[in-house]
Structure 1
Amino acid sequence: MSPVLPRPGPLRSPVGLSQAVVVLLGVAIVADLFSLLVGFNLHSAWRDVLSAGYDGSSGDSYERTETLYGLSGGLQALSLLVCGVVFIVWFNRIRGNAETFAPDAHSKSSGWAVWGWVVPVVNFWYPRRIALDIWTASGPEPHLGLAKPPSRGLINAWWTLWIVTVLHGNLASRMYERAEEGTDIQQALVQLMASDVIDIAAAVLAILVVRQLTAMQHQKVMGPVVSSGDQR
């Protein structure tokens, strides 16, 4: 008895959503760079406080920089939230297209394209698995294997950095919240700045993933670009 496959739905262009995601990822990168700069200044301000004492000059500089650092964290959280929502909408759309391309190429149901990001524990591997299935289904010949699918290295690199930035960012934030001594705060700031760097790298890879998957689906629908010389 053959398995019952899901009924394919209509194809919907992911191009507009992908452009919005890329812009929002760029905004998130700018927020990370701002946090990185302010974090470096706050680290320097703490160095001045520890070496010269908390006088009027160093104290005022520290308080201004600390307030600015709190603002940068809020901007990071806001940009992540907005970008995350639009990214999941785009991800759900390309998952729907991928099911139309190859209904039998998916190991997870379509609902997990959304819930897989928010359900605890499974959100550490379900989105990657779904992304790999989309990658396969969006390739030239997902059923017959007539063409070798593109390398999955980009997906794996992006997902690895995403997991690292989530885990390391949470650890660094807890270190900063619990730090009381100046030296402990400086160490926590170093970890937070390292988390910003990792997050920037993850966002750059996410941009490449979004562009590549969108291009693969667009080409699958529209066909390869034919040069004028090939039309003879």
Structure 2
Amino acid sequence: MTHDPYAPPTGPTSPVPPPVQYTYGAPLYDVPPLRSAAGLGTAAIVLACVLTAVQVVVLLLAPEGAAALRTAGEVGIPAYQSQFTAYDAVNLLYGALQVACYVVTCLWLSRSRATAVAANPKFIHGRSPVWSWLGWWVPIVSLWFPYQVVRDILRSTSRGPVSGIGGWWAAWLVYFIASRMATRAGTRLTPEATLQGADQLVTVEFVATFAMVVALVLWIRIIRDVTRFQAERIAVAERRLMA
């Protein structure tokens, strides 16, 4: 009986090993497409600059807000009955701008992270994609998760050492804490604000503004670095497709 060379093997065969998976990355056969996030990065920079400019205005108006709270304390009325000042009005605008800045920044982070995974699938990201959105406001973890998301996006697309991330995050945390203190000190919904908050309102607003300006300068640098690094990766990939 002759052997059929085209017949499938009848003996035991070794199982095909599964493809390698990467934690919070992507398997080699299922990477996302390389897409530029430059437009979203520009929008994030513009909104961050606008938000910082409004924070400067908030600082300039803080003495007026503190005076209104102090006057309310002197006549013995609660904070919510104090005079509504320009400081309060600009803070309302500031809150709306914060929401817009959050949405655009998270869109940029999500797109940049997907591009980073496509450019370097083997890089291990410390956090899953959902934390690009949740990391900024989930209690406790908001103190370090966003830093890890940005750090990994930058490192996974850079071809060399990166710097400035730690300084940016330290400045952001100072701003975050000081702005919360300013909210408690100057809000018209806190009875203690008329007695305790008025004297410290201007100081904490100054600290928040200074830290925000520092964070803005470093944030612009980070976005530009990510955009440049990813543009280089996309250009290399396009040259390989055309070769």
TM-score range, shorter chain: 0.7 to 0.9
Cα deviation for residue 220 of structure 1 reads 2.1
Match of 1:138 among 135, 151, 157: 157
- Partners of 2:149 and 2:197 in 1: how far apart? 40
1:84 corresponds in structure 2 to 102
Q: Contact 1:179–1:188 at 8 Å: present in 2 too?
A: no
How is 1:113-192 mapped onto 2 (pairs within 5 angstroms)?
113-140=132-159, 149-152=160-163, 154-176=164-186, 177=190, 178-181=192-195, 184-192=197-205
Asked whether the 8 Å contact 1:32–1:200 carries over to 2, the reply is no
CA drift of 1:175 comes to 2.7
Deviates more, 1:172-181 or 1:12-21: 172-181
Measured on the aligned residues, the alpha-carbon RMSD in Å equals 2.7
Distance 1:99 1:32, change over 3 A: same
Greater share of residues in helix = 1
Counterpart amino acid of residue 202 in structure 1: A
Q: Residue in 2 aligned with 1:13?
A: 36
The percentage of aligned residue pairs carrying the same residue is: 27
Aligned length: 201
Query: Unpaired runs of 5+ in structure 2?
Result: 1-16, 76-81, 237-243
**TM-score where L is the length of structure 1:** 0.76
Instruction: Please say if 1:212 is aligned against 2:225.
Output: yes
Quote how far apart the aligned CAs of 1:122 are.
1.7
Encode CA deviations 1:203-229: one digit per residue, 9 max, x unaligned.
232222112211111122225xxxxxx
Report the CA distance shift for 1:118/1:187 in structure 2 as closer, same or farther (over 3 A).
closer
TM-score, structure 2 normalization: 0.73
Contact kept in structure 2, 1:39 and 1:193, CA below 8 Å: no
Alignment-derived partner of residue 107 in structure 1? 126
Name the counterpart of 1:93.
111
SS in 1 for 2:127: coil
Task: Give the Å deviation of 1:186.
Answer: 2.7
Quote the residue 1:57 is aligned against.
Answer: none
The Cα offsets for residues 170-224 of structure 1, whole Å up to 9 and x where unpaired, read as 123213342223x75132232123222222322232222112211111122225x
Q: Distance in 1 between matches of 2:158 and 2:151?
A: 11
Shift of 1:156: 1.0
- More displaced stretch, 168-177 vs 155-164: 168-177
CA displacement 1:101-160 (0-9 Å, x = unmatched): 1122123222322232333222221221122211121012xxxxxxxx2333x1111111
> Take 1:3 and 1:81, find their aligned partners in 2: how far apart are those partners?
39
Amino acid at match of 1:129: Q
Name the structure 1 match of 2:88. Answer: 70
AA partner of residue 168 (structure 2): W
How many angstroms apart in 2 are the aligned matches of 1:116 and 1:184?
A: 29
Checking the alignment, whether the CA contact within 8 Å between 1:139 and 1:220 is kept in structure 2 is no
